[in-house]
Structure 1
């Protein structure tokens, strides 16, 4: 069946959602299932419990998974005002749309076909012989068709049997099923009640986060740890200045240690207990999600040499500058020449090129060629590895850099479905929200990335995002500390200094504004009023108006007209 509503088509057989223009909208399976549930119950209020039991049967998930799915559905439908998927206070959710369904083939049912045939009249005597002959011919034709049908059915049965034998061979189905994981209670070596409570809260946050990952299942540790594919165990310790969590994951069938990690969070006045818990769980959870994704998407063809080059290139670009960008690009292009089939190198090069586009280190004709090259590489890698975090993350970045904001929200949400703590994906969601004029939502998203603080190497990005969002809303005083913290971490972007100059200018601090702009110009020589703003294709008028106010502040602080 194909369900149609508001110009959209939900094709259950093909598991896809089509836009009014016929294009396909990518949705992760759980979000697609939730949309199907809404569409088949249009006009009926569904409680949160009903939705969770239907979409995640017999699996423990937190309400965050439900809310994320609903956000994905709304983003796919362009339901920013929440008019199609409505919240009914105290009761649940209502799908407000007229839904129709039709047979995908468009063929008439047998009853319809029979009704459309003319009603036969009684034959006259002169037509008896002819009628008898036609009856005989129809009988023979029917027999031949039945014989052909029986032969087709027999052939199909043989084919199905062969396929079943192949599918049911040992290990295949189980190898393709979702991996199962159990998180045991985080241990406390000190027997301190405070540490024990902290460990329990961190363990709960970690379990809830893992339950959001699309291609794994989280089992209750007490009842099913022995049945899980992997078991995660951890220990929390407290020192005078920091909390430290150590964790390891083992394969249940072999006892082999598949992953170990540790993460520390400082105990300081500006980090409350809730934030400490969030960052402890996120620090371990992010590393664990990446490792699980690596195990489930292992590429035996990926050469060790390629992995080393990727690590070296990444190290070069971590401290952002045009020179390091060029060095990393040369490394990866050389590696791709030596190993053209390496999806890992293609993903790394695509992600790097898009960073160059966003930082305006690649412009003009080079930008267009880079975008074409990136799109081709990412299309290839996503076909080869649809669940691979780096591929989805790079595609999320690509759609943002090319101003495809609505598609970007869906793609970045998909990246989060494999790593709920992915600060890079959150950052790009925030950027898309800014471009669509949703400044408060963007600020909340950047703050969520800051609460997770993973990966820490990208910390400066969501800080500049939070500063930018505040500045767009005219909150220069709130923008300044975010921008200052971003510069303290990575001072080479130039754009951050220019935004800081605009904030100072709005606050009436002309000297500080000119100094910040001068530093920005040193880092980005040749910058002008015309080439500093990002492309405005598909941008909201609300954003364009707010961005123009910032550009005027930059000009007052010394940005050349150009």
Structure 2
């Protein structure tokens, strides 16, 4: 029986496999964003033809209304990947006011089944020397159009066989199918002590971090899989819900001082078990277990790492077992994403540092905790963000390749220093380590939107959603970005989808209220803001949003009641000055609104970062005092 492989294209130093979604340069995989890859396929398949902008936008964003700037940004990104010269385009030509044309010579490789037994035998003997199981290699090879004659054809077949072998070393998964994305479920814990409740999620978290740091495969973050802890959902169903190619599932059983870890990888498409293995070790040597499991996963998905990536992958965060145990507990509580959980996580991260003062990831945990607590106004920004910055810098002094620490510094630059360019620089440094870091792309999207760079912001927001489609915070941030960019229908669709996933998450209701109010749908906005306030237990920013909506809807007395409640609350807890300014802005009391906005310079209200583009401050923009405020912003 003949088997087939994907139709292949070659141009310049590149090889393109549309079906496997693979771009190679000199035989090595090249990291490409999903939309840039889709654009490249369309252009290569229509080589030499003028492709109108409208056609390209329909192909890349079907049934979604997007601005033309999105296409320009994607083309620019693709040119950067291809190394296209700005002055003399080798690959992509711009046709002024019309579209684009792919101008490089493209060589196509049709699929030809190998039917000659003699040729097949000779080919099999040739590839037997390669360090890969021939059973994994498709029994079909590619004959280029320009080949002629049996001898030349045979030489071409043998050469292409070597290329296919190298291709499989780079991209084949277990059972010969490409794995481009995966999720790691929280490991089930059996027996042991009640204090081991954190161990299953901590083990998954460690594996997620290692694989993500390679930058070679898309791995769903811990926040996306935490909900499966103690869940009865099947492995295949979880994989389909997470929209990944494969899923890793395991269980941990403690017996005295020993721990047994049983792990399997399942292909989501057909539920096939790709591999399963049991690992045994002393509980005091949990590092060895994590090393073995990580190496087994990396081998099964054929991760090809350079020296720097290999060091990141194999580097242990600490050799102190007790410090690591405290760190895992910190991650466990931090991932609860509640104020109480983050405060408890912070305690454990500090404990880990006391046990190992050189534990970079524990400093990163401290930075993440303080930054999140400041972002959600749990503690004043002037207390939270400087402490977060200090911890992030200490982490990077010990290990400069911590994507999370760079992203946290970007968050601080954005929300605390109101410095857009500095934030973007740190986000880019995070992407250099982990190109698939969804949360960093999400924050970068908001940062770009705050600077008014909407086409780039939209690209980043959409990429973040593609990388972590079920993340409530990623979808919430994307909805806000779409709103700021004027993409209201996309904002409503994104936020409504997130609410369907989990109706109890307050931020999605808050952002949906923002969109409705921007559109003048005040009753719907009030409904969403009310839910956000109730679900959050009275978050001051959400309360301010409700007060602003009341005022805009003409419910002045209700708005003033909200204002009184915020001012009363400020007597015993932190209330951002921006929140008070918001309600005054809705009441059209510009003098008081600007007075309270002035106070944000002292308290660093995080929402001040959107001063340039916030639609709810539009009534203040003609005032000279507002212009002076903008001058202080580095956006």
TM-score of the aligned structures, taking structure 1 as reference length:
0.48
TM-score of the aligned structures, taking structure 2 as reference length:
0.43
